[in-house]
Structure 1
């Protein structure tokens, strides 16, 4: 009964969200002609976020409405330590400041497994997709989440004396390192594996991090049964794939909410549990699938993505007739 009520709530939210956004008014970036800084205003000209942003970090097309629930402004407020740095600020659509994102790849850190890194007073933590702090900033450096865990350290820094462009992470004398779970708690490595899905790191193992309801297990069984997805993944591998290592392992890394009506399902390389970015899928409550780009914005209907991938495999097999993981592409194309 609870699941039905929750599903009904989410479906109602899906239909009402566009109405709510229209009622709220469309938002646009604008440039102040006096100082060329970027701000945000609504379609009636009301300033929602004053001009604070550096034009280098903002969209160039000021005529396109902002569709994101979180709005980045590349202002000149910095938060920097030897290991991590931030620039810019993240706001909600009402212009309320939420957090300072960690600077990553010349922009604000993006979401991995539903969490993105933020900074406060030189320390790094995480926010959820609503922009609320999910894990308090408390480390000098933290990696993005992968397979339910992140690597964190205090007393660490980037040693730019060894490589100015791509410095290695170095450690002070009393530095401490941790593996943390999604609650921000450090987790001790196990000496031996308890299940085949435990994560191997640093000569030990972290326990399998995911827990599911019966309904969610059925969803994973559903996508796991799509053997063609793993065949596509193996198509251009240099060695023959066999056994469990030939199949992607899928885990649910995000659940439907008021802001996102999807289950987010990530494919991992079995045994090593490396995240395979092209194999991130969104599933609606009604069972429709989409393949999603790394930024979570470009959603391709599953059938369209599958057709494109199969055609790409067919061309690859034509160019590489000795490909060790060649399969009958036509068999799957005929079913589309």
Structure 2
């Protein structure tokens, strides 16, 4: 009886481990080097094509466990996608690439408003701010009133009613 229970337990553990291993995507590309502009896509651990080569202009993330970042062909927008290639949100473009993660969060955009997502691809602060600076020591400066002016290869944000929020989106009253 002990051997049977032990066998069932081992079988359960092996199947649990193998199912976890299949929950990721691996980037592959059509070229000698992986660089922006080289067609790329994603395979699952079984070798099945989930995102065919060339569907997106570029795939930033080499291994997708929770979410990855890609560049859309038509618009050049950086999007967050899940393991099934479902689009989650638009990632704010900064320094010609995806926004940097600061204090575990990066900026996202929806309908012209800024919010924040975490490294698991979960939206932590819903997009509701006209402009938002990145977090620094768990505080971000945001505003509901901001004019965004393009200038050369960057943007200038003009606003006078900035306030602080914490990493949960709560307004800081200091």
Work out whether the TM-score is over 0.5: yes
Residue of structure 2 in register with 1:53 after alignment: 56
**Contact 1:30–1:41 at 8 Å: present in 2 too?**
no
1:186 positional shift: 2.1
1:39 to 38, 41, 53: 41
**2:134 maps to 1:188:** no
With the length of structure 2 as denominator, give the TM-score of the two structures: 0.69
Write the distance in 2 (CA, Å) between the matches of 1:179 and 1:38: 40
Residue of structure 1 in register with 2:138 after alignment: 148
2:164 to 169, 179, 186: 179
In the alignment of these two chains, the number of paired residues is 151
Label 1:89 to 1:166 Cα distance change in 2 as closer, same or farther (>3 A): closer
**Contact 2:29–2:41 at 8 Å: present in 1 too?**
yes
1:176 positional shift: 3.3
Write the distance in 1 (CA, Å) between the matches of 2:106 and 2:74: 19
Label 1:25 to 1:156 Cα distance change in 2 as closer, same or farther (>3 A): closer
1:76 to 73, 78, 83: 73
2:50 match: secondary structure: strand
Write the distance in 1 (CA, Å) between the matches of 2:122 and 2:70: 17
Residue of structure 1 in register with 2:7 after alignment: none
1:48 positional shift: 1.6
1:20 positional shift: 5.1
Structural mapping, 1:172-251, within 5 Å: 176-189=161-174
Higher helix share: 1
Write the distance in 1 (CA, Å) between the matches of 2:48 and 2:106: 30
With the length of structure 1 as denominator, give the TM-score of the two structures: 0.39
**2:118 maps to 1:117:** no
Residue of structure 2 in register with 1:256 after alignment: none
Residue of structure 2 in register with 1:23 after alignment: 22
Write the distance in 2 (CA, Å) between the matches of 1:139 and 1:77: 26
1:112 match: secondary structure: coil
Residue of structure 1 in register with 2:129 after alignment: 139
Write the distance in 2 (CA, Å) between the matches of 1:43 and 1:182: 34
**Contact 2:165–2:172 at 8 Å: present in 1 too?**
yes
Q: Could you list the runs of 5+ residues in structure 2 that have no partner in the other structure?
A: 1-15, 31-37
Residue of structure 2 in register with 1:170 after alignment: 158
Residue of structure 2 in register with 1:104 after alignment: 94
Instruction: For residues 207-259 of structure 1, give each alpha carbon's deviation from its aligned partner in whole angstroms, at most 9, with x where no partner exists.
Output: xxxxxxxxxxxxxxxxxxxxxxxxxxxxxxxxxxxxxxxxxxxxxxxxxxxxx
1:141 positional shift: 1.2
Q: Aligned Cα RMSD in Å?
A: 3.0
